[in-house]
């Protein structure tokens, strides 16, 4: 369904999982297998070039391969058949040694791991760009005071910079997790028919070690044909990143509501319009991000269900991964790319943020008055008094400052100037700068380490 690719999967990660690259990953395994077997004396060295020379996806008939896979049960069987036939046309003897000692799952799983490695590299680059842009926006908006919202209601003032810093903080953790998981996930799959490499006799382990070196993958302590925790860890990383960015997009879209209007998506010709209403400016980037993040949990459920694999080689569970994991990765790539564009060109309306702070006539700052008054009359009494005045401010549509200044139990302890100061949101952002400084410092530290 390529019509939706620009909307939902427009990132470098999509091409990584193209049909051609899927086949090429499997062929890279076959070429490396021939080389490893030759180095260990299992097959003649003369067979390597003939086999490797045909390990190019463009030399396969992908349509015929796909049709044959329906009957064979997987892509590797017809791939090996076509590869063998192509090698045979060049060197009949070399064709005897294609796919020596391996099983179909070795080919498919290792090919997938090679694709995941490329996807991790592309994701690392995208994530680094997201972190850089987000850090700049945090710094720029660190003093943009706005209403904090809990239970969808005004709570206490925060800054837009702190709100963005929360997303940055999470992305920095996902960046760290990526460094940690790659050695565990980027592992060779090579076990032969039942995970014993019996067909290679005493050369099974030497061939596996050389094969891992050629492909620049870590060797595995045991074949993992039916132990799929590595792929779940990879999927969880992509799903987690998309969830973090989905939370950001959800908040951003709420802040774009007409009545709120504190932020806006980048402005461009034809962007966010309506087919019937000329005034509309829809949060189309947020919609694309949320579309993906709504689909990904279902994909994760499939991958978790597929962990239940029978004995040494699976029936159904393994096969369920083939489309699900790449789709999840591609959707996450789209989320990352779209978020990057959103962050780069987003609009921030600080004037509207300030206006929205004043909607409740000072009620958002009631807590600061309570705490100041509590020093004189106690916490419970101060809370009860300020709460009553808040209710009056709402009922009578009066500024809270006026009612506070007029009440003798307040004016006896707090002057009009003090009340105005306490009700100024700019003076009520607590440890805002400390939290922002911590996150920005860690972003700088991690960025230097990456570069």
Among residues 46, 274, 411, 431, which one is catalytic?
274
Residues 6+ apart with CB under 8 A from 230: 184, 185, 187, 224
DSSP symbol at 200 = G
Is 274 noted as a catalytic residue in this protein? yes
* DSSP state string for 74-109: SSHHHHHHHHHHHHHHH-TTGGGGTTTT--HHHHHH
Distance CA 390, CA 384 (A): 10
Answer whether 137's CB lies under 8 Å from 407's CB: no
Distance CA 421, CA 399 (A): 14
Residue 279 burial class via C-beta count within 10 angstroms: exposed 0-12, middle 13-18, buried 19 and up: exposed
Residue whose entry in the numeric block shows the structure tokens 């490329």 = 118
Q: Quick one: which of 183, 191, 228 has its CA closest to 208?
A: 191
Buried b / exposed e over 222-240, threshold 16 CB at 10 Å, is ebbbbebebbbebbbbbbb
**Rounded alpha-carbon distances, angstroms, from residue 64 to 31, 60, 71, 81:** 21, 9, 12, 11
Is 306 noted as a catalytic residue in this protein? no
Among residues 295, 313, 392, 442, which one is catalytic?
313
For residue 384, the tally of other CB atoms under 10 A from its CB is 13
Give me the long-range contacts of 278-285 (CB less than 8 A, separation at least 24): 281/256, 283/252, 283/253, 283/256, 285/249, 285/338, 285/339, 285/341, 285/342
- Chain-centre distance of CA 90, in angstroms? 45
Residue whose entry in the numeric block shows the structure tokens 């090429």 = 24
Distance CA 338, CA 241 (A): 13
Catalytic residues, which ones? 274, 313
């Amino acid at each position: 369904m390529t019509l939706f690719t620009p909307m939902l999967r427009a990132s470098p990660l999509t091409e990584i999982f193209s049909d051609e690259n899927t086949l090429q990953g499997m062929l890279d395994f076959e070429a490396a297998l021939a080389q490893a077997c030759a180095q260990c004396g299992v097959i003649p060295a003369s067979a390597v070039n003939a086999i490797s020379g045909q390990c190019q996806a463009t030399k396969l008939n992908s349509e015929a391969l796909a049709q044959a896979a329906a009957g064979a049960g997987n892509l590797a069987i017809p791939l090996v058949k076509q590869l063998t036939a192509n090698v045979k046309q060049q060197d009949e003897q070399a064709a005897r040694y294609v796919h020596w000692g391996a099983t179909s799952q070795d080919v498919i799983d290792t090919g997938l791991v090679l694709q995941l490695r490329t996807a991790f590299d592309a994701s690392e680059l995208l994530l680094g760009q997201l972190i850089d842009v987000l850090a700049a926006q945090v710094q720029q908006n660190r003093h943009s005071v706005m209403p904090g919202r809990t239970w969808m209601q005004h709570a206490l003032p925060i800054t837009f910079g702190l709100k963005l810093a929360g997303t940055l903080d999470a992305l920095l953790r996902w960046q760290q997790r990526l460094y940690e998981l790659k050695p565990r996930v980027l592992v060779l799959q090579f076990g032969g028919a039942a995970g014993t490499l019996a067909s290679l006799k005493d050369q099974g382990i030497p061939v596996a070690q050389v094969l891992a070196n050629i492909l620049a993958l870590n060797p595995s302590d045991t074949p993992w044909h039916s132990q799929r925790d590595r792929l779940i860890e990879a999927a969880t990383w992509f799903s987690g990143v998309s969830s973090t960015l989905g939370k950001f997009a959800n908040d951003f879209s709420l802040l774009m509501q007409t009545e709120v209007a504190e932020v806006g998506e980048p402005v461009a010709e034809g962007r966010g319009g309506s087919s019937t209403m000329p005034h509309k400016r829809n949060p189309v980037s947020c919609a694309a991000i949320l579309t993906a993040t709504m689909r990904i949990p279902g994909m994760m459920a499939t991958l978790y269900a597929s962990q239940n694999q029978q004995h040494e080689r699976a029936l159904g569970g393994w096969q369920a991964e083939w489309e699900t994991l790449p789709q999840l990765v591609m959707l996450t790539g789209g989320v990352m790319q779209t978020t990057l564009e959103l962050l780069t060109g987003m609009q921030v309306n600080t004037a509207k943020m300030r206006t929205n702070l004043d909607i409740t006539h000072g009620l958002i700052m009631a807590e600061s008055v309570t705490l100041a008054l509590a020093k004189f009359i106690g916490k419970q009494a101060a809370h009860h008094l300020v709460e009553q005045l808040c209710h009056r401010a709402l009922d009578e549509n009066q500024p809270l400052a006026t009612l506070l200044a007029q009440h003798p139990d307040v004016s006896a302890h707090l002057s009009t100037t003090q009340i105005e100061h306490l009700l100024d949101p700019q003076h009520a952002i607590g440890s805002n700068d400390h939290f922002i400084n911590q996150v920005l410092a860690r972003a700088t530290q991690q960025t230097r380490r990456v570069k």
